Structure 1
């Protein structure tokens, strides 16, 4: 009986070994290494190297490297600020910046030049809708009255802005919480006022005239609206 038990246990052991081998398989030294996800695959590295050989760097493009982790990578690149003019103009700009730190004279001059062209064109076309959004109520009333008078008499205004040769801030100040900036705009224009028959009443449709205007813009620093409105106009006689 003991011999029979030993043979029986041996048969059971052989059966279990064969069963496990059929399920798990066996290694004969030719299968290659295990797929270790914490270890780099040399084959993949070679493949990546071959792919990088076919990459063409675009002009201005830079690949990421260790230097991007340095402290300098996190420093904000800010262009050096242009010096403010001396005298009352510089003092006025500094006063405006106390209430509006984002005020940028250079950007303001660019915006004033664009507004100058838009307002001239809108006035010549009689477009009161555009003018109402760009002018203060007092200035708009004067523009609207002039347009109405022109239309009533059948007159047409031909206005062409040839170009702006200079636009600079000549005055800046705070009036309470309202920022006021006056710019001097030197431009070349062609202007002619025609009657209903097309005859020239004023100006010359074929002559370029140098014109100097002084326009004052204002905005409330308490308002979230960043737009400026035209609050005064004048010309150099």
Structure 2
């Protein structure tokens, strides 16, 4: 039974890799460059985290999908009940970025060019964080210390709208035990 489970698992992961390779090949036809995208993703990572820390929902709305905006808006609202202000800083450059998965979604079977692409990235970055209460006292973190943070973010882009830009559409919570510098 273990041999069958192992074979099924191996086939599943092979299929995921094939789907990722196909999605990347389709993306490359549009002029995609991994290094250029990683630079853009690192900039978006810094910008979005800064906007979240500042609670700037108006600007944040433009950088994320509607579902992600709703989740982040609720996260900011929840945070503001505990902390009056947050300091967040990314120590540049990003330590590491790598693609975990690529996938096509919303595929129209009558027109295979009408699709969205999602890239799931692992981002390792050194950050500084500090939170304050309404009196300005530090209640969490220490902005003088750098912390290595592993985030998994999902970026999405339309493949059929001219001028479409990448937007954050999801964040996946990595298991703490998987953190590796």
Q: Same fold by TM (over 0.5)?
A: yes
> Distance between the aligned counterparts of 2:161 and 2:22, measured in 1?
19
Contact 2:99 2:119 in 1 (8 A): yes
From 74, 79, 86, the counterpart of 1:145: 74
From 155, 161, 169, the counterpart of 2:84: 155
Matches within 5 A, 1:61-100: 88=16, 92-98=20-26
Q: Which structure dedicates a bigger proportion of its chain to strand?
A: 2
RMSD after superposition: 2.1
Indicate the residue corresponding to 2:33 in structure 1.
104
Indicate the residue corresponding to 1:195 in structure 2.
133
Indicate the residue corresponding to 1:204 in structure 2.
142
Contact 2:158 2:165 in 1 (8 A): no
Deviations 1:165-210 (A, max 9, x none): 1111111111221101011110000112211122233222222100
> Distance between the aligned counterparts of 2:21 and 2:156, measured in 1?
13
Deviation at 1:100? 5.9
TM-score scaled by structure 1?
Answer: 0.58
Is 1:120 the equivalent of 2:60? no
> Distance between the aligned counterparts of 1:154 and 1:112, measured in 2?
28
Give the number of aligned pairs. 151
Deviations 1:187-237 (A, max 9, x none): 000112211122233222222100000000011212113301111113432
**Highest relative contact order (Cα 8 Å, sep 6+), 1 or 2?**
2
Indicate the residue corresponding to 2:8 in structure 1.
none
Query: Structure 2: which 5+ residue stretches go unaligned?
Result: 1-13, 108-114, 177-181
Paired residue secondary structure (1:179): strand
> Distance between the aligned counterparts of 2:53 and 2:143, measured in 1?
13
Structure 1 residue runs of 4 or more that deviate by more than 3 Å after TM superposition: 87-91, 149-154
Do the aligned partners of residues 200 and 181 (structure 1) sit closer, same or farther apart at CA in structure 2, a change above 3 Å counting?
same
From 87, 91, 96, the counterpart of 1:166: 96
